[in-house]
Copies of this chain bind each other. A is one copy, B any other.
Amino acid sequence: MFKPRLFAPGPTPVPEETLLELARPMFHHRTAEYRKMLEQLTADMQHIMQTKQAVFTITGSGSAAMEAAVASVVARGEKMIAVRAGKFGERWSDLGKTFGSSVVNVDVEWGTAITPQEVEDLLKQHPDAVALYTQHCETSTATVFDIEGIAKVVGKTKTLLVVDGITGVGALPFYMDKWGVDITVVGSQKALMLPAGLAFIACSEKAWKQIDATPPGALYNSLRAYKKSLATWDNPWTPANAMVRAALKSTGLIKAEGLEKVWAETRRRADALRAAAKALGLTLYSKSPSDSVTAINVPEGVDGEALPKVMANSFGVRVAGGQSQLKGKIVRFSHMGYTDAFDLLAAVSALEMALGKLGYKVEYGVGVAAAQKVLAKGC
């Protein structure tokens, strides 16, 4: 028997005390008690997103907040730029199309990052773009983008920078205000150590000028509706109030640990896995590997669709395979949230054992030892 260990890039494991909070009796949301919870969660998320702007809590997946960032921002016929470097970049493009924007698709080779220089050139070509949409980490390719550098060049223009921080915020260093990101989108089921079902979004003053002047293209994910109701610590629609209560446990854990320490620990786990992969003769898929999620190329001769299945079914370690054109070609390990060094050793060991089962020549313990060497430095 193996304990189940969740290493997919979302949902990630939820701390026991947060789970227990979800088991508490239901309560009413139109109460001072709930308003206080929402106020606290907003403050916690401001800290985690490193912003002084209001953070809105949406009842929905991360994609709901992505929709809010398009439907509330770009009017029909207005231009937007979608950086497509993977599956989630495509979502920005799909959203723009749905809401009648004039979408400029920028196709970036999967596994590579768009550079600030490329963004600068793009904005010179499209000075009329209302917003540029990108990921902080493109989950499907485990690739991190230089948002600080990109924000610097976007900040010099009239264009807004919208960042999908779903597989970034809480895991990777991120300073919304200091860097000058205009809109940041976060989901609950990643670095925030919560079940899926809540999304968060914050907007700069530059973004609010555009939002206040733009008729919302949707109602459920309308930022104006959320802004109006947050003035009284309320929600425009019945909120997932039990999730808000539970969220405070997880954000409380992040605050207790210290945000920068959480980032550093996430990075150390990523470093350790990368060292393990190297020691095992494996290579990384991404040319700009993220610290929140790692994609390892399935080696020659190993059945890439079988690998994550064997890891899950024989050893209890749930990693994610590749999506779309990467199906069967990579395995992805999350480093986010409620997971520690020894969980990672279990995952590396399961990778070794599954590779062995699938005919890859592996010397057991080599990956584990390489990971340990990195992890020991932090203790």
Contacts of A243 in B (CB 8 A): 195, 197
A94-110 contact mask (Cβ, 8 Å, vs B): 1 or 0: 11001100000000000
Distance of A281 Cα from B151 Cα, bound (Å): 67
Q: Are B8 and A19 in contact, with the CB atoms below 8 A?
A: no
Within 175-194 of A, Cβ neighbours of B (below 8 Å) are at 187, 189
Q: Which residues of B contact A24 (CB under 8 A)?
A: 19
- The answer to whether A71 touches B22, judged by C-beta atoms less than 8 angstroms apart, is no
Q: Tell me if A222 is interfacial: C-beta within 8 Å of chain B.
A: yes
Say yes or no: A241 contacts B61, CB within 8 Å: no
Q: Contacts of A196 on B, CB cut-off 8 Å?
A: 29, 59, 238-242
Q: Which chain B residues lie closer than 8 Å to A29 at the CB level?
A: 11, 196
Q: Check B197 against A59 for contact (C-beta < 8 Å).
A: yes
Is the C-beta of A164 less than 8 angstroms from some C-beta in chain B?
no
Report chain B residues within 8 Å CB of A237: 60-64
A98 touching B241, Cβ below 8 Å = no
Which of A39-47, A153-161, A212-220, A354-362 makes up part of the contact surface?
A: A212-220
Contact between B238 and A189, CB atoms less than 8 A apart = yes
Interface flag for A258 (CB, 8 Å):
no
Judging by beta carbons under 8 Å apart, are B28 and A11 in contact? yes
User: 10 more A-B contacts (CB under 8 A) besides A6-B26, A23-B23, A64-B220?
Assistant: A4-B25, A11-B29, A13-B25, A63-B236, A71-B218, A99-B219, A189-B238, A196-B242, A197-B240, A197-B243
Q: Is A318 interfacial (CB 8 A cutoff)?
A: yes
Query: Which residue of the partner chain, among B8, B64, B221, contacts A28 with CB atoms under 8 Å?
Result: B8
Contact of A241 (CB < 8 Å), options: B23, B195, B242: B195
Which of these, B4, B20, B62, contacts A238 with CB under 8 Å?
A: B62
A67 within 8 A of B: yes
Check: A165 CB closer than 8 A to any chain B CB: no
Task: State A139–B243 Cα separation when bound (angstroms).
Answer: 23
Contact (A216, B98) CB under 8 Å given A26-B6, A197-B243, A318-B28: yes
